[in-house]
Amino acid sequence: MSSDTQNDNEAVTFADLGLSSKVLSAVSDAGYTTPTPIQAGAIPQALQGKDVLGIAQTGTGKTAAFVLPMITRLEKGRARARMPRTLILEPTRELAAQVEENFVKYGKNHRLNIALLIGGVSFDEQEKKLERGADVLIATPGRLLDHFERGKLLLTGVEILVIDEADRMLDMGFIPDIERICKLIPFTRQTLFFSATMPPEITKLTEQFLHTPVRIEVAKAATTASTVTQRLVKSGSKPWDKRGVLRDLIRAEGDEIKNAIIFCNRKVEVSELFRSLVKHDFDAGALHGDMDQRARMAMLAGFRDGKLKLLVASDVAARGLDIPDVSHVFNYDVPIHSEDYVHRIGRTGRAGRSGKSFTIATRGDTKYVDAIEKLIGKEIEWHDGDLSTLTESDEDHGHRGRGRERAGRGRERGERHPRDEHRARKTRDVSETAEQPSAAVVPAEALEERRNRKEAIKANNAEREPHRDNEQPRGNGRQDRPRRYRDEDEVNTVVGFGDDTPAFMKVAMKV
């Protein structure tokens, strides 16, 4: 199915796809009536036991496209101890957890044993689940192989293998692991393979491990949903200019913002912008690739549950996450890779809903804006005049402009003087403590967390469970690699800060 034929399935309902009545009832309880194109294309094929090559990105409903037929097929047969019946490989822990949520939602009328094997969680609990016999095993490649090597897992009973987000697996260096896992699973299995793009390495993998697959392709990566209103917003190039522009935009959108993701290009900007927004009393959280697992999950849960309105994030942290119903996307930075723009904008306007995106652009961003417009095949409208209309006060938004506004009041609470900002930046650049911003102000939650640190660290020391702190690509000498221990890892992080934890907070918390 190509993107041009996405509407061909308009008349198709879930009942037409061959799913079991128990699954149909769960789908209907979830509130879905019409299958998305990838679901309409993949489900009937998967139910017939065929290999499927699905070229689709997140937001297209691809998770249900493999979860629903899998649950239907699992109705026959039973799991045996340590021999999972199905295996789903995900590149990150968050995606794995999301897939588990889908199995819980759509499998509510079934008694499925689901085991989630991800890093950062104790082996013992995961082993117990394997021992009980898993119908569904959802894993990140590294942790799966760890269990296999410990002799706790047999992959010879796997009937269905799902490889999800294959191009992301490639980005993260997981392809050798995937190849190894594929060879451990019986040749007769069914394979459902999903990737947003098909670079040559991925094509090679599909040729090696899929048997005459049915290819289903939806929405090219270069398209942005027509339901998203996209605007460019001019700004001076200094951080305080951009932060001022962003605050004004958020205030102007007001109650229209149900929740928003604010994208930055670098994790250091994520931390700085997060702190600045909190200082200015915005309801903000942050998410970047270096935060520890607990902090990431807590932040994400808060955002999903509506407890946090604004989430500042980097591309790496946000890619692939299913955060439903985001009303706004703000690009604090114009993405350097134009495909990232498409991914970012894809966070809003999902499943036909309307959404808004604002991209803050400075004079230096012109070539990146041009590349994006070329990729998406259209010009993006300017919100309030293009860069040629930049005035002096636009160029110095948070300083001189605001200075006039606030005559006699001094700088706004928490706003650093531009000169100090410049100095701080210079020091950071030179020392390349680079991604360690100085913490002028620590949010209240971080202070609270700091107070609880000793307790948490003591508890962790008692456990001393070896774990892979993050799913890292592995080389040949896997067994020789030094293990890290939970307490070492976590002593160096504070919820909400990850590896950006200011040095003084780490020192204070050592036991």
Question: What would the x/- binding string for ligand AMP be over residues 9 to 48, using CB under 6 A?
Answer: -----------------------x-xxx--x---------
Nearer to ligand AMP, 61 or 141 (CB): 61
Nearer to ligand AMP, 219 or 273 (CB): 219
Nearer to ligand AMP, 12 or 184 (CB): 12
Nearer to ligand AMP, 96 or 442 (CB): 96
Question: What would the x/- binding string for ligand AMP be over residues 237 to 266, using CB under 6 A?
Answer: ------------------------------
Q: How far is the CB of 353 from ligand AMP (least distance, A)?
A: 9
Give the H/E segment covering residue 449. helix 444-463
159 close to 189: Cβ distance less than 8 angstroms: yes
The pair phi, psi for residue 54, each rounded to 5°, is -100, 120
Separation of alpha carbons 262 and 358, rounded Å = 9
Question: What would the x/- binding string for ligand AMP be over residues 58 to 97, using CB under 6 A?
Answer: xxxxxxx---------------------------------
Separation of alpha carbons 222 and 183, rounded Å = 34
DSSP string of 84-135?
-SEEEE-SSHHHHHHHHHHHHHHTTTS---EEEE-TTS-HHHHHHHHHH--S
45 close to 214: Cβ distance less than 8 angstroms: yes
DSSP state of 482: P
Nearer to ligand AMP, 59 or 236 (CB): 59
Does the footprint of ligand AMP cover residue 316 (CB under 6 A)?
no
Residue 292: count other Cβ atoms within 10 Å of its Cβ: 22
Nearer to ligand AMP, 91 or 157 (CB): 91
325 close to 347: Cβ distance less than 8 angstroms: no
Total residues in contact with ligand AMP, by rule CB under 6 A: 16
Separation of alpha carbons 185 and 18, rounded Å = 27
Separation of alpha carbons 161 and 170, rounded Å = 18
Residue nearest to ligand AMP (CB): 63
Does the footprint of ligand AMP cover residue 324 (CB under 6 A)?
yes
Q: How far is the CB of 39 from ligand AMP (least distance, A)?
A: 6
Nearer to ligand AMP, 90 or 394 (CB): 90
Quickly list H helices, 152-238: 166-171, 175-184, 200-209
Separation of alpha carbons 492 and 506, rounded Å = 6
Site for ligand AMP in 455-494 (CB under 6 A): none
Q: How far is the CB of 352 from ligand AMP (least distance, A)?
A: 8
Site for ligand AMP in 97-156 (CB under 6 A): none
Give the H/E segment covering residue 63. helix 62-74
Nearer to ligand AMP, 9 or 331 (CB): 9
**260 has which bridge partners?**
310, 328
Site for ligand AMP in 339-368 (CB under 6 A): 350-351
Positions that interact with ligand AMP (CB under 6 A) = 32, 34-36, 39, 58-64, 322, 324, 350-351
